[in-house]
Amino acid sequence: MIQSERIKIYNSFGFDENGEYVLYWMQSAQRIKNNHALELSIQLANKHNLPLLVCFIVMERYPGANRRHYEFMLEGIDDLKTDLNELGISFAVQVGDVKALITDLSHRASIVVFDDSITRPLKQLKDDVGQLIQKQVFTVETNVIVPIETAYPKEAYAAYAIRKALQRQAAYFAVGFESSQLKNKSTIGNVQESVHLESVFEKNLSHLEDLPSIRKVKGGEREALNRLCSYIENELEYYDSLSNHPEKDVTSHLSPYIHFGQLSPVTVYEEAMKSGKNSAGLIEQLFIRRELAYNFVHYNPNYDLDLMKILPDWAIKELDRHRIDARPYEYNIETLEQGRTHDTYWNAAQKEMVLTGFMHGTMRMYWGKKVIEWTKTPEEAFEILLYLNDKYQLDGRDPNGYAGIAWCFGKHDRPFSERAIFGKVRYMNAEGLKRKYRIEKYVENIMKLEDQS
């Protein structure tokens, strides 16, 4: 089922009777299961008895991406080639100029479908490509549970502002579906042959920075669904009681798969609810907090540009009042990136991210708060956190990450007791970690990882 609220018509062109196929430019939804954009493409193809061509473009220099991100993504694309072909759907994987490649493929199409994007680089690119295509273009919002503007008509102040609206609409939107079968499985001729993914790094991506990594995380929809199934079966029941403990490994590790569109949040929501296990904590993060982050990025174009244009007035006032406060330590970006501060817990969190592409959620909060404390200005802290998060996290460059970083400065939060540097913005310290968690065990775990590198 595709709810009509997910679909937008991009332009005023109509269906081209002379077209040879339906074209779906797959980019932000790299999956088959619960992919509303793919489903619309199949339905349109069946309605007009046309074959379907799905195209994915490997961009050689996507902003902020490195070899770690590309490897994870392309493992999933490799799986998709096989799975889509088995469904009778032609799949073309190309490398190069997106505007030229998609515009060229659209010349022979009757109609074009995009999956929707929210972060600036891909959103702008899709807007640019959409203006070049002289065919009707549909965009489909498939990477959120409730379409953003349907969920809430403006930027939400905090989770409480959007929670009831989301919960009220969940029964309608959080519904999975079986993909329709494509009727016309004709081979599409004269389409440039797909690239061989094993040669892409050598021929097109050799310039990418190769980060150290000792815990390989396999990408792709198949792996995502296997991990989801295993997590629900073995660990979901412990989420509420243990997921905040950094020394435990009770988090789902699904965020990179959701970020790359290899796993639908609808699938996670539905499978968690069907399990009959206590999933309240997971649903809060997956649904309420994640869609609050999407609301933030959608309605606030300064989400990664200007700290003082994304924070609530009270937080701006507090940070401004304490600009001149003495910092107990000041670190430059090189020292922070290498995890060489005085703080053993912070260093462990940074090294976990560098080595694995993941940082435990509790430590992400502590990590962000300490950078505010150790840099000269809030703006410098904001810039450093964005850089480190987007470079090293497998789920970097994501609305969740941008909202999480903004939260460290008071976004989506409330005032607390006044402190130096932070004012009434929430503060975290090492004593809190020691009091609540077996934090030394966490450090020990990360040291073992470092020894393997």
Q: How far apart are CA 54 and CA 135, in angstroms?
A: 16
Q: How far apart are CA 117 and CA 143, in angstroms?
A: 8
For the beta carbon of residue 411, count every other beta carbon within 10 angstroms: 24
Helix H or strand E encompassing 270: helix 265-274
Q: What is the phi-psi region of residue 372: left when phi exceeds 0, alpha when psi lies from -120 to 50, beta otherwise?
A: alpha
pLDDT tens digits for 272-319? 999 999 999 999 999 999 999 999 999 999 999 999 999 999 999 999
Would 1-143 and 144-178+222-299 be classified into the same CATH topology?
Answer: no
203, 210, 227, 447 alpha-carbon torsion, rounded to 10°: 160
Do residues 113 and 24 lie in contact, with contact meaning Cβ atoms separated by under 8 Å?
yes
Q: Is the pTM of this model over 0.85?
A: yes
- Confidence (pLDDT) at 189: 84
In the numeric block, the tokens 């905090």 are attached to: 158
- Confidence (pLDDT) at 153: 97
Report the candidate in 453, 421, 270, 432 with the shortest Cα–Cα distance to residue 351.
Answer: 453
pLDDT tens digits for 32-84? 999 999 999 999 999 999 999 999 999 999 999 999 999 999 999 988 989 99
CATH of domain 144-178+222-299: 1.25.40.80
Residue 192 pLDDT greater than 80, yes or no: no
Report the candidate in 406, 386, 383 with the shortest Cα–Cα distance to residue 396.
Answer: 386
Q: So what CATH class is 302-452?
A: mainly alpha
DSSP class of 33:
T
Q: What is the DSSP secondary-structure string of 111-154?
A: EEEEE---SHHHHHHHHHHHHH--S-EEEE--SSSS-HHHH-SS
- Confidence (pLDDT) at 191: 82
pLDDT tens digits for 8-27? 998 889 999 999 999 999 99
CATH of domain 1-143: 3.40.50.620
Q: What is the DSSP secondary-structure string of 47-114?
A: HTT--EEEEEEE-TT-TT--HHHHHHHHHHHHHHHHHHHHTT-EEEEEES-HHHHHHHHHTTEEEEEE
Mean pLDDT of all residues belonging to the chain: 95
Domains of the chain by residue range: 1-143, 144-178+222-299, 302-452
Mean pLDDT, residues 329-336? 98
End-to-end CA separation in angstroms for the chain = 47
- Confidence (pLDDT) at 344: 98
Report the candidate in 121, 136, 132 with the shortest Cα–Cα distance to residue 65.
Answer: 121
Sign of CA dihedral 282, 284, 285, 286: positive
- Confidence (pLDDT) at 55: 97
